[in-house]
Structures are given as C-alpha cells and as structure tokens.
Structure 1
Amino acid sequence: MSETHDLAEAYVLGQLEPEARAEVEARIAAPADAADAALAAEVRALSADWHALDLTAEPAPMAPGAWESLQTRLSAERGRTAPAASGAAPPPLRAGARTAARPAAGTGRGWKRLAGAATAACIALAAALTLELFTPQPAVMAILLDDDGGSVALIEAFDDDSLRVTPLEDFSPEGAQVLQIWTKPDADGPPVSLGVLGRAMRARVTGPDLPRPESGQLYEITVEPPGGSPTGLPTGPIVGKGLAQRPL
C-alpha cells in the first residue's frame, strides 16, 4: 500500500493524533497540489467503503458491564476537568458590548481544544453529507468469507451493470494465476463469471450484461489459471464467498 493510502486509512479509522488529523483535514479541505488531491480522493473512497461495510454488519450486543465502565470513566474525567467554583457569579454581558470578559488563567487551551473539536466535527459532517449525496448506493452488497469465517472482500453490485470489489486483506495469487469473480443469479443454475483480476485490488467491473443483482445472490472469488477458468466454471480454490444483502 502507498503512504497516501496508509495516511488516509489512519485518518478514516481515527488513528491519528489531533495535530496530524488537523493537518490531514486541512489538506483534504483545500488541496494545494496533486498529493493533497490524491489524499482527498483516497479518504473519500475509504470512507465510502467503510460506510458500506458498516451497513452490512450485524449488530452486536455490548459486553457485560461495558456501559457501566464507560459511565465510570466519564464521571472520573468530569471530576478532573470541572473548574473550581468561584465566589461570585460574573456580571451579565450588555447587548452590543465590544469586549468580553477575559477567560480565567489556564482555560485558553481548553477552549482551543473545544474549538478544534467543533471544527473537526463540522468537517466530518460535511464529508459524510458529501459522500451521501455523490456516492452511488449499491443495489446489494456481499461480504465474502474464507473457510475460517474471516472477511476477505466486499462486493458491491449496482443497478447500472457494474460492481465493485474491495479486498479486505491481501489474497493475491502466486505466479501467473489470477482471481476470478463469480455469481449465481439462479440458485439452481451454474455460476456466471463477472471478471478476472491479476491480484487482490480494488476494482470496478462493468457490463454490458452483468446479471441483475438480487438479495440472497451468491458471490465468490476463486484462484484460476492465467487468463481465467478454461471451462467457464470455477476450477480453483475458493478465496471467499458470501450471500448478497440489500443495504439498510
């Protein structure tokens, strides 16, 4: 993976320190060069992918005691950050006053952090709304699982005779072997090839006559000889498979 991809992924997953995150947000909000534009595009793509993956995830209950532990930690944080009570309440501000009371010593940093957090929240909300407006929604999505139940790829099938495959791990074949994408539009019929990839990579496959995506439809990826299956049917080991679901 490239440094741009790694940085975008860390940003989307919330793994950056505040200063680094603010720097990324400034770059993607107003790209100054090709590198910034590439970073912004990578952030948009990863945000869309994780949003789509989230739509297909099954809800899981919180661990026992997790909520109580969170409340305890929040209460402790409030106790450490609560300001000391003063003897008298500050006078009310007059309407139209040109100056405001000077903040107490030591509170400037807290206000700056609060302002930074508010700015970051606004940028994140704007990015989410942009993705919602301009990212086409798939008709169905399928998480492909390996034999151990691990998620290996996300398939998004659209109503415009196209689909997108996004690897969730690197399962590139060895040598000249290729990866072939399949689906079964008819549960009683044979698998239909959707395309061939030279390696595990994010790619979009277009028609003109891809099978219409339906809920419950099987998708899978297999390892095949160079050029694809010689029989028109899967012949190699299955990398992952899964049933499609409609986004919520």
Structure 2
Amino acid sequence: MKMFINGTLSLQFCLMLMFTGIAEAADQDPERYIYATYHYCDLTRQERADQIFEQLDKPVYDAAVADGTINSWGWLVHHTGGKWRRALYYVAPGVQNLLDAQKKIGDQIDARDQKLGDEFSGICNAHDDYIWKVAAGNIGSVARGGASFSVYHVCDSTREDQADAIMSKVFAPTLDRMVTDGKIRSWGWNEHIVGGEYRRLATISANDVKSLMTARGELIEAMYDKNPLGDTFSEICGPHADYLWEIKFSNP
C-alpha cells in the first residue's frame, strides 16, 4: 500500500534536489538516530510481555531520558501488519550514543529482576534490530500520539538519495503542514544504518487510530493523487511492509 505518490522526475531535477539538500545541511536540526528492536512474540502471552515491560523496563528508560542518556523512547504494540508483535525504540544523537545507552540500560534492567527478564524473553524470544538515522521530520524531538503508521521500504540502493530528496524537498511541506494543523503529531523519514532488508522507514503518528487513518488518507490524496512525482518515488522504493502500531508507552 502506498504511503506517499505519480509521474516522472528527471535526473536533472533529482540532482538539483540532492545538491540543495547538501547545501542546507548546516541549517538542519541536530542529528537523531534510532535504535529499534522488533519483537516476535507468543500471541497468547504478549499482553504479559507488556506488563513485564511496564514493571521492569519502563522505569529505566524513563530515567535514561531524565539523565540525558537518550532523547526519547517508545514501546509499540501491534495493531495491524506483519509478523512483528512489539517494537522498542529509543533515540540519541549518534550511533555510539545508542550503543552506550544499550549497555547502560541493559545492565540496569538485568540488575532489577533477572527472573522477570527471563520470563519476557520466553514470550518474545526472537527479534530484528535496526539502527535508523532520521533524514527528515520531527520524530524523536516531539511527543508522539497514541498510534503510528509505519511503512518499511525496500529500495534501490543506487537511487536512495533521489528518494530522500523527493521526501525532504517535495513531500515534507505537506507533512509539516499537517503537523501544524494538528492532523498528525509527528512524522519521520528514516535512513537505514544497520539491520535487515528495509532501507527506509516512513512513519507518522496521531492522537488515535481513527485520526491517524483519516490523516493518512489525506496524505495519499495529496502526495500520490495530486502530485506528479509518485511514480519515480515508487520506482525507487517500491516493495514495502505496512504496520499500524499502538504507542503504548513513550517518553516524551
């Protein structure tokens, strides 16, 4: 299912967009990186995993935000989509910051209650790890809503910069306007750094599932049906997986 566009984009225009982005790099916000762990869980016991996470992990992640170890974090619950049932993410200004936080937080959680940790691992016993770089959007710098829609893209690695340019220069104004209008709370276009086959992640959040899906419908109309650049974007980042998540816990 498309999240964002139809038409063709000339190579000359793509290059113009990319070089414009490079020229403006110095004016961008501080860098943000996301460590995301996507869990495969026992469907009959996944709610118990949420209870354990709230009791065991959540206080440690909240403390990590308070002391500046990480910028933000969230725990996502599967609503609709593929095989991932839960997702944990946290945000920091660099890859090494993420890895340092992983060790610090992991050690603290292990010291709290190893038995609960083992129970959680028995419920969610496999996972996929990704590190993303926020290439565009306000994700990681603002409070999210209660629901998010994520599109995990498989892209042509030789043309990813063109997709990034289209997103940041053509689509971003529409997304920013929807944030200003209160139709969505946050959005992000995230670049693969480490992980599996997905090369880009597009995500939006809103107050609840109903308002999220209404906003997504408006985005599809504005960015695909009324925009001439969708075909090129879809050629670059065609195959994808859609997930609708409930944001069960987050800070901020």
TM-score by length of 1: 0.26
Q: Larger C-alpha radius of gyration, 1 or 2?
A: 1
Structure with greater proportional strand content: 2
TM-score by length of 2: 0.26
